[in-house]
Amino acid sequence: MPEPTDNPTRPLVRVTGAARHAWALLTDRPLSLYAVSVLRIGYGLLYLVFLLREFPHRDAIWGPGSPWTPDLARQLFDQTGWVSVLTLSDSRLHFELCYAAALVVSVLFLLGWRTRAVSVLFAVVVASFHARSIFMTDGGDNLVLLMALYLVLTASGRRWSLDARRARRTPARRRRLPALPPRLAASRTTLVTTLHNCGLLVIGVQVCFLYGAAGLYKVQGGTWGAGTALHYVLNLDLFQPWPALSHWADDQALAIAVVGYLTVLLQVAFPFVLFGRLKYPVLTMLLGMHIGIAVLMGLPLFSGAMIIADAVFLPDRFWIAAGRLARRALGRTEEPQPVRGEVPEAARGAVPKQGGPVSPVRDRP
């Protein structure tokens, strides 16, 4: 007998089913492992290049010789609650050791060595340098700090890392953890998976807020509505790394007006196109926008941080195909062997499922 259309329990059933689906999506398997690995590699490399670039000026920015002295920084920390390992001592030796350690941590994070522990150290490094000279930071520094904190929650070392390489090559009997009771092992796996997916969700929401807020803020400005905002930006001496190039771009009046309107449209529409194929052309245009910001305005750190953050919205099948193309370009045709107990993603088209019997070895981050 067909169910009456006015069944009062139907909405409750739908809500319950949606809640179960959301809970399964959150706890069943870690999502976008390749995407978070790209974020780990990207931010590790970006911060390493940043530290190397500023190496000749490190003392003037963060060291004891900075106009913003360690004592002034500590006084500000008392008001703001920030902390920094760089202000634990005023000695130059302490600062140089911290700087060297920051370089090493960035390299290890980039390579994915003991990623769970190193990701925490990387977050401490980024937060310490950010807080030490906070008046020298910009939006790019803020985004790198946020992403470093969020990546602590994720299993960013399971793909394209030294940890993943070791897990493939080390015999299971040599890397087996002490046996855990089945329920405890299952709880551990669920906790790790949930933290990873929550971190991934927070990263995606953060990027959506950045674009949405930036677009809505621009809509309120008269210069963006008139199509002249980029004209004023291109004539700011502070953002003219190559004045001749900026002046040439400013001469293209129609082009910069169109780019200005398109920028606002892309940023406002970004959160609404993420669940369809339209996101691919939008991400491509945003990539061009960030490259333009890096070249014309001299903001490579900000542009690099945004480009890397956008990578989280590309599915794993994209990164698997990109990795295959990279191996072919390098003359390496062999496919990486999966960790014992895992099914290759390329064969399944998805990340390995973590349901069913739990193996502490297989599911170790």
* Structure confidence at residue 334 (pLDDT): 60
What pLDDT digit, counting tens, does each position of 253-304 carry?
899 999 999 999 999 989 888 888 888 999 999 999 999 999 999 899 999 9
* Structure confidence at residue 18 (pLDDT): 65
Identify which of 72, 66, 64, 129 has the alpha carbon closest to the alpha carbon of residue 94. Answer: 64
Average pLDDT over residues 104-110: 96
HSE (side-chain half, CA atoms, 13 Å) at 261:
8
* Structure confidence at residue 188 (pLDDT): 82
* Structure confidence at residue 139 (pLDDT): 86
pTM of the predicted protein model: 0.84
* Structure confidence at residue 348 (pLDDT): 44
* Structure confidence at residue 21 (pLDDT): 66
pLDDT band at 361 (very low <50, low <70, confident <90, very high): very low
Q: Is 90 exceeded by the pLDDT of residue 351?
A: no
Average pLDDT over residues 315-331: 85
* Structure confidence at residue 333 (pLDDT): 59
Joined together, the tokens standing for residue 72 give 């002034």
Helices (H), the chain: 10-27, 33-53, 58-61, 70-80, 92-111, 115-132, 139-151, 162-169, 172-175, 182-219, 222-226, 229-234, 243-251, 253-269, 279-297, 300-310, 316-329, 345-348
Q: Is 50 exceeded by the pLDDT of residue 83?
A: yes
